[in-house]
Amino acid sequence: MKSDYQADIDAIGNIDSVPTILDVVCRTTGMGFAAVARVTDSRWIACSVLDHIAFGLQPGGELQVETTICHEIRQSGEPVIINNVADDPVFCGHPTPAMYGFQSYISMPIVRKDGSFFGTLCAIDPKPARLKDPEIVGMFRLFAELIAAHLDSIDQIAISEQLLARERAFGAMREKFIAVLGHDLRNPLASVVSGTKMLMRKHEAEPDSRRILLLMQGSLLRMRGLVDNIADFARSRLGGGLTLDLEADVHLERTLDQVVDELRAAHPDRSIVAEFSLDEAVPVDHGRVAQLLSNLIGNALSYGDADKPVRVSAKADKAGFELAVENGGAPVPTETLATLFEPFARGEGDRNGEGLGLGLFIASEIAKAHGGTLTATSGAGVTRFVFDMPAP
């Protein structure tokens, strides 16, 4: 039958060291009964018991609290130590020793961090015992403090776990929100892009309009990249992996050209040189490879020297597929190179503090999803990113 104090009994029961404590207590003092008791103003409940004298108390078993000395300890907050009841000036006439049949007694209060009284660590024996030694008292005090510290830790952990569970729930909700937002932003973005394309066709002959529209398209391209990367990142955090839609299409060059053209149009002041030699049809997800290439070129434009060209090359043969993006500039330090593909990693000297630092992370995830690798090397004025996908 469960006690209404079952939680406390279980808490003490779950502390692995309590049985050892009770054992050491009995061995050190030579006494035959030791226990951890929960003591309130109206109850005395055994939580853990070591009984060599057939005292007959089990965990959950209770004594009438007014008949125990623990009751008085609860009031005073001080330990009670009796070497020999018969010789003790305070306790030789006390009813409790006679009632429970003990001659020696020690009980140490267990006090929680918040000052509340939990109960006692106590021991009794029908024979007298040497208890008033500093080593014995010190040991009891230490053990009582240990038990209190354990109980406090258990409570603290429970609180922390609750907070963690709540944070996790909020976190998952946030990620879902971002993933949905990213998805929902795509259509309106595509809509505005369509609008600029139509206006571009209508106003082909007007340089001012063209310029404005090109700049708009550049911004839209940046937005699309941000939306794609953040939506993918949120989805990956929710546990959704990158699913690929593979097509072994000879039109891969067209996909790569489109990405290069888009970025050229968005950065008319920069030189992007492309060289493709795709001799074999490669099974890749075109949309994802386009995203990877866009992220790599975007990165090269952000961190490379503005007066040096960004070089894009792609090669597809029997050995596999290789896509490389190079930019000129100061070498990337080795420590930075190692962390480049982590989410939210930012390179040094970023232009205007923009960017989520997700582009390279997403690119490396796309590479991995294709069974390939994305590596970076830097030196002698050139930084090179290579997506290498070996033939299956």
Q: Which residues bind other proteins (CB under 8 A)?
A: 186-188, 190-195, 197-198, 201, 243, 245, 247, 258, 286-287
Shorter beta-carbon distance to other proteins: residue 127 or 254: 254
C-beta closer to other proteins: residue 195 or 268: 195
CA-based max dimension of the chain: 116
Q: In angstroms, what is the minimal distance from the CB of 202 to other proteins?
A: 9
Q: Quote the least distance from Cβ 255 to other proteins, whole Å.
A: 9
CB of 193 or CB of 281, closer to other proteins: 193
Distance CA 277, CA 323 (A): 10
β-bridge mates for residue 249, sequence order: 282
Whole-number minimum distance, CB 257 to other proteins, in Å?
Answer: 11
Q: DSSP states of 346-365 as a string?
A: --TT-SSS---S-HHHHHHH
With respect to other proteins, which residue has the nearer C-beta, 185 or 337? 185
Alpha helices in the chain (DSSP H): 6-13, 17-29, 70-76, 95-100, 134-202, 207-237, 252-266, 286-303, 334-339, 359-369
- Separation CA 33–CA 26 (nearest Å): 7
Residue 326 burial (C-beta neighbours within 10 Å; 0-12, 13-18, 19+): buried
Query: Minimal distance in Å, beta carbon 291 to other proteins?
Result: 12
CB of 223 to other proteins, least distance (A): 13
Amino acid, res. 151: L
Smaller CB distance to other proteins: residue 94 or 203? 203
- Shortest CB 201 distance to other proteins, Å: 7
Distance separating alpha carbons of residues 38 and 19, to the nearest angstrom: 16
- Of 99 and 181, which CB lies nearer to other proteins in the complex structure? 181
Number of CB atoms found within 10 A of residue 392's CB:
7
